[in-house]
Chain A
């Protein structure tokens, strides 16, 4: 063991394929020693720290439309994999129709980092602390994935297996994330708790999203996603179900926040203990639900 195994980036080959198919084939052929790259903001840190040892980094930006951000009034929003977070934040369509996405991006580190960091990279990195993943989950994100056998769709909800682990296979490249048109009267908030005012990784992150829905017994549908409290980004289904079945009010919100806290299985680390994290999920979920509830009502 050495104290300082990571003062410099190891050597690697930078691959710039001509097409998505070339990229998928290359990645499949070099499974275990190659990985797709977007902004590289996770990759380079891991490589410098000696945690990853890939020989090839395959740049998948700008391939076959991966740099597009497009809104279609019928189909919804498509975010190409290569669209960096600052571009997402300034997009008028995102600001007016998916402001939650912009809020989630704004919570990530700094302007400098966000000129490289992407939402798709945040998702594929599959860290439970990923700050934009919650928004993508509650907004019903679906991934477009290109593999050696062509394209397929993967709903985000079934994508994560564990810290850093997803259902992607060698050769798979996420080319975009798509979001359906948002329901009428929706509101979302992202409450990120760090140790300092800004730029820390999340001790916990709570995304809450809600809208009126006549098909729910309570008349409302709430979506919740929790960061940094389980091996994967967590959707507290019990809490969501409770909110669709019971008349919304202070007590229901409180009970749902308790359910959300009970559904997590956080760990202790230098940023916070499991106990603190659970307590914060309860407080922030309650606060998030109250905010969303108030705003949904105001819109109605």
Chain B
């Protein structure tokens, strides 16, 4: 192997640095018009009347569109429970209901952005307010107002796991740990707010250039809402400024296509452009789900887990988005990477009038892991067993049975990962010990400048651990495939290879990985590989850039296509063209009564140690050292792997201590970066050591596993454990804002 395993420069590095790369907001076409969206800006209401006459009369306004202009007024990745535009005039019942502040009500297309905004402000809407449902536990009650009257209940998903007999096992346990945990909403905060350009392309298709995570899914959602055949819709992704799951659902895709298409029907053939402001972006797309997790775990004196019972409630916001899939993950992850003979899980996703919630790096894993790992860390404390050792005694390993009653796919490396963490983290423990000696005055070593500050009595330090596993690819029976097209040109040797692939490079560098896999498989230099990407007109369906799946799925499809192409090449075919669809082993849905299932076909494994410093006067938590041990199977591009580990750690650090998404009565109070803070370079952990392990996945391309979400999962609970080690307080809720920490210390 000479290309795989190399940190080759990213294909887009130069164009991104020079500014040559075009993001959706940079695209312009002659004669384009501009669009603004009227958002509902109220969390629960019925739209009684919309009067667009004043807006339409404004000079420069080209058109105003409302619900009555949407042919099939519904969409949704998992279930079509959301109107494209809320208001009267659709045949589908209840599409005049607003269920969240970011619901879209009307579109204004105008000569300039300013006129579009003015026109938007001239639209008159009469709303009839409805009672608010903002507490998910209240939303589950029988007498709660129902957000979707056609469904009869706010609970839109319920999974069960029943394995063994938890009650008998609890009775037989030496120790029981219980806790109620809450996790916060989180904003994706990608650099590039939603934007796009819609137009009718040269073949008469409705084309949209946007930033998304799955071109072919966007295409389907648009075609469905517009009542058009798939081939009539084209979706293209230019450069994408981050996604993290936040672009998995629709934002501007459908409405841009709708506007272009309706204008065209009126004889107006003009491109339409939209760019959201940061405020629109923060309010207008979904957040990470807040969860409530109630756990009861039982163990023997030696630390062996015997039973776990968990109730999981996800605040789904006004619409399903990907909640049911996120919940599936949390249902599996809420018992941690441990083999537990008796398990009972009930998990629910619930509609509320809070911000809609959906995909976000880790996809339910971080929420489940927070509860599971904190339970484990507390158990270690109670039993006075080293937190790494207690994990070692319970870890899932080759052949162990999951909570859902089936073994993991082959290639389980958790024991190796955790053992390596033990070795690597011993120096952190040594540091803490010598720090404690210095502080107690029993050492004569010269303290470094930064630790002089820390020697003050109100500064405390501690260490915490976490471990996790996370699926690669779609789970629980969701159809899973990825398609690659490879063409080879040349005479004696392959002079050029063209790879067509839809997989979205959201900033993670996947196109570079794809090219590396193609070059390696074909045995040609990287420079001979040309990528044609992310355009539904010229690529096959790749599936989404999510679930840590692209290296694995796109990689396998490209590897398969290249292998077939090589065969043809060797039998003298010139030029060669191959379309190859990769299908991984089948997964199955949770059995409705027992949860028995084959949840996933591949996993990645991770363990982390984190040290923190807590200022007990102000409550500030500073993260000092992070060691992240990740089994990635094979690092196709080690530098990109390291980038993903560090990126995940920084984002998870924001989640754990800083990012505080505040909603009140269904309204978002933190709709800007001056009040929703994300980590700056001064807030990130001081040192992050990425330990990359390569235990191959038996079916991964060149052994690669997915890895980009995994380091997210154990991080928050490791921080919580480190803070406990420092100040002796367990937090069941985060982010660990200074105020929450002081309250925990009993100082407020």
Measured CA separation A203–B620 after assembly (Å): 12
B115 to chain A, nearest CB (A): 11
- With A2-B121, A3-B39: A195-B738 Cβ-Cβ less than 8 Å: yes
- With A3-B280, A7-B117, A270-B662: A196-B738 Cβ-Cβ less than 8 Å: no
Residue on A nearest B678 in the bound complex, by CB: A196
Stretch with Cβ within 8 A of B (4 or more), from A53-61, A212-220, A272-280: A272-280
- In the complex, the answer to whether B120 meets A2 with C-beta atoms within 8 Å is yes
Measured CA separation A218–B670 after assembly (Å): 47
Residue in B38, B679, B739 whose CB lies within 8 Å of A272: B739
Measured CA separation A63–B102 after assembly (Å): 47
Which residues of the partner chain A approach B660 to less than 8 Å between Cβ atoms? 195, 270
Residue on A nearest B275 in the bound complex, by CB: A7
Taken residue by residue from 183 to 220, chain A's Cβ proximity to chain B (1 for < 8 Å, 0 otherwise) reads as 00000000001011111110100000000000000000
State whether the Cβ of A70 lies closer than 8 Å to any Cβ in chain B.
no
Which residues of the partner chain A approach B682 to less than 8 Å between Cβ atoms? 196-198
Which residues of the partner chain B approach A6 to less than 8 Å between Cβ atoms? 277, 279
Measured CA separation A190–B675 after assembly (Å): 22
State whether the Cβ of A287 lies closer than 8 Å to any Cβ in chain B.
yes
State whether the Cβ of A96 lies closer than 8 Å to any Cβ in chain B.
no
State whether the Cβ of B680 lies closer than 8 Å to any Cβ in chain A.
yes
- With A2-B121, A4-B277: A198-B739 Cβ-Cβ less than 8 Å: no
Which residues of the partner chain A approach B40 to less than 8 Å between Cβ atoms? 3
- With A196-B677, A270-B660, A273-B739: A4-B114 Cβ-Cβ less than 8 Å: no
Which residues of the partner chain B approach A5 to less than 8 Å between Cβ atoms? 121
Measured CA separation A6–B283 after assembly (Å): 14
Measured CA separation A270–B617 after assembly (Å): 20
Taken residue by residue from 16 to 47, chain B's Cβ proximity to chain A (1 for < 8 Å, 0 otherwise) reads as 00000000000000000000001111100000
State whether the Cβ of A165 lies closer than 8 Å to any Cβ in chain B.
no
State whether the Cβ of A75 lies closer than 8 Å to any Cβ in chain B.
no
Which residues of the partner chain A approach B618 to less than 8 Å between Cβ atoms? 193, 280, 283-284
Measured CA separation A6–B619 after assembly (Å): 35
Query: Which residues of A (68-118) have their CB < 8 Å from a CB of B?
Result: none
Which residues of the partner chain A approach B480 to less than 8 Å between Cβ atoms? none
Bin the interface of chain A by size.
20 to 34
Measured CA separation A279–B42 after assembly (Å): 36
Which residues of the partner chain B approach A196 to less than 8 Å between Cβ atoms? 658, 677, 679-680, 682-683
Residue on B nearest A197 in the bound complex, by CB: B682
Taken residue by residue from 74 to 108, chain B's Cβ proximity to chain A (1 for < 8 Å, 0 otherwise) reads as 00000000000000000000000000011000000
Query: Which residues of B (644-701) have their CB < 8 Å from a CB of A?
Result: 658, 660, 662, 669-670, 674-675, 677, 679-680, 682-683
A182 to chain B, nearest CB (A): 28
Which residues of the partner chain B approach A272 to less than 8 Å between Cβ atoms? 738-739
Which residues of the partner chain A approach B674 to less than 8 Å between Cβ atoms? 201
Which residues of the partner chain B approach A199 to less than 8 Å between Cβ atoms? 680
Residue on A nearest B616 in the bound complex, by CB: A283
Which residues of the partner chain B approach A4 to less than 8 Å between Cβ atoms? 39, 277, 279-280, 283
- In the complex, the answer to whether A287 meets B658 with C-beta atoms within 8 Å is no
Residue in B38, B101, B677 whose CB lies within 8 Å of A195: B677
Measured CA separation A270–B660 after assembly (Å): 8
Query: Which residues of A (1-31) have their CB < 8 Å from a CB of B?
Result: 1-8
- In the complex, the answer to whether B748 meets A276 with C-beta atoms within 8 Å is yes
- In the complex, the answer to whether B617 meets A283 with C-beta atoms within 8 Å is yes
State whether the Cβ of B176 lies closer than 8 Å to any Cβ in chain A.
no
State whether the Cβ of B416 lies closer than 8 Å to any Cβ in chain A.
no
B658 to chain A, nearest CB (A): 6
State whether the Cβ of B591 lies closer than 8 Å to any Cβ in chain A.
no
- In the complex, the answer to whether B617 meets A287 with C-beta atoms within 8 Å is yes
A48 to chain B, nearest CB (A): 9
Which residues of the partner chain B approach A198 to less than 8 Å between Cβ atoms? 680, 682
Which residues of the partner chain B approach A203 to less than 8 Å between Cβ atoms? 738
Residue on A nearest B123 in the bound complex, by CB: A2
State whether the Cβ of A271 lies closer than 8 Å to any Cβ in chain B.
yes
- In the complex, the answer to whether B738 meets A276 with C-beta atoms within 8 Å is yes
Question: Please, how many residues of chain B have a CB less than 8 angstroms from a CB on the other chain?
Answer: 37
State whether the Cβ of B454 lies closer than 8 Å to any Cβ in chain A.
no
Which residues of the partner chain A approach B670 to less than 8 Å between Cβ atoms? 270
Residue on B nearest A278 in the bound complex, by CB: B748
Which residues of the partner chain B approach A270 to less than 8 Å between Cβ atoms? 660, 662, 669-670, 675
Residue in A1, A195, A200, A273 whose CB lies within 8 Å of B41: A1
A257 to chain B, nearest CB (A): 12
Residue on A nearest B669 in the bound complex, by CB: A270
State whether the Cβ of B113 lies closer than 8 Å to any Cβ in chain A.
yes
- In the complex, the answer to whether A7 meets B739 with C-beta atoms within 8 Å is no
Which residues of the partner chain B approach A195 to less than 8 Å between Cβ atoms? 658, 660, 677, 737-738
State whether the Cβ of B532 lies closer than 8 Å to any Cβ in chain A.
no
- In the complex, the answer to whether B748 meets A279 with C-beta atoms within 8 Å is yes
B569 to chain A, nearest CB (A): 54
B433 to chain A, nearest CB (A): 27
State whether the Cβ of B747 lies closer than 8 Å to any Cβ in chain A.
yes
Which residues of the partner chain B approach A275 to less than 8 Å between Cβ atoms? 748
Measured CA separation A272–B739 after assembly (Å): 7
Q: Which of A4, A8, A199, A287 has the most CB of B within 10 A?
A: A4
- In the complex, the answer to whether B739 meets A276 with C-beta atoms within 8 Å is yes
A33 to chain B, nearest CB (A): 20
State whether the Cβ of B383 lies closer than 8 Å to any Cβ in chain A.
no
Measured CA separation A278–B176 after assembly (Å): 39
A106 to chain B, nearest CB (A): 14
- In the complex, the answer to whether B737 meets A279 with C-beta atoms within 8 Å is no
- In the complex, the answer to whether B114 meets A8 with C-beta atoms within 8 Å is yes
Measured CA separation A276–B742 after assembly (Å): 8
Measured CA separation A272–B41 after assembly (Å): 25
Which residues of the partner chain B approach A273 to less than 8 Å between Cβ atoms? 739
Q: Which of A6, A198, A283 has the most CB of B within 10 A?
A: A283
Taken residue by residue from 253 to 297, chain A's Cβ proximity to chain B (1 for < 8 Å, 0 otherwise) reads as 000000000000000001111011001100110010000000000
Measured CA separation A5–B682 after assembly (Å): 32
B155 to chain A, nearest CB (A): 29
- In the complex, the answer to whether B279 meets A3 with C-beta atoms within 8 Å is yes
Taken residue by residue from 297 to 325, chain B's Cβ proximity to chain A (1 for < 8 Å, 0 otherwise) reads as 00000000000000000000000000000
Residue on A nearest B619 in the bound complex, by CB: A276
Residue in B102, B117, B120, B747 whose CB lies within 8 Å of A279: B747
- With A196-B677, A270-B670, A276-B742: A2-B662 Cβ-Cβ less than 8 Å: no
Which residues of the partner chain B approach A3 to less than 8 Å between Cβ atoms? 39-41, 101-102, 279-280, 283
B587 to chain A, nearest CB (A): 40
Which residues of the partner chain A approach B277 to less than 8 Å between Cβ atoms? 4, 6-7
Residue on B nearest A272 in the bound complex, by CB: B739
- In the complex, the answer to whether A197 meets B738 with C-beta atoms within 8 Å is no
A4 to chain B, nearest CB (A): 5
Which residues of the partner chain B approach A1 to less than 8 Å between Cβ atoms? 41-42
Measured CA separation A43–B619 after assembly (Å): 33
B143 to chain A, nearest CB (A): 30
Measured CA separation A7–B38 after assembly (Å): 13
A144 to chain B, nearest CB (A): 32
Which residues of the partner chain A approach B619 to less than 8 Å between Cβ atoms? 276
Query: Which residues of B (724-748) have their CB < 8 Å from a CB of A?
Result: 737-739, 742, 747-748
Which residues of the partner chain A approach B739 to less than 8 Å between Cβ atoms? 272-273, 276
A227 to chain B, nearest CB (A): 15
Which 6 A-B residue pairings sit nearest by Cβ, starting from the closest? A3-B39, A197-B682, A3-B41, A7-B277, A276-B739, A283-B617
Q: Beyond the given A3-B39, A195-B677, A199-B680, please list 11 additional residue pairs across the A-B interface where CB-CB is below 8 A.
A: A1-B41, A1-B42, A6-B277, A8-B113, A193-B738, A196-B679, A196-B682, A196-B683, A272-B739, A279-B747, A283-B618
8 A-B contact pairs sorted by A residue (CB < 8 Å): A2-B120, A7-B117, A196-B677, A196-B680, A196-B683, A197-B682, A198-B680, A271-B675
Residues on B lying within 8 angstroms of A by beta carbon are 38-42, 101-102, 113-114, 117, 120-121, 277, 279-280, 283, 617-619, 658, 660, 662, 669-670, 674-675, 677, 679-680, 682-683, 737-739, 742, 747-748
Residues on A lying within 8 angstroms of B by beta carbon are 1-8, 193, 195-201, 203, 270-273, 275-276, 279-280, 283-284, 287
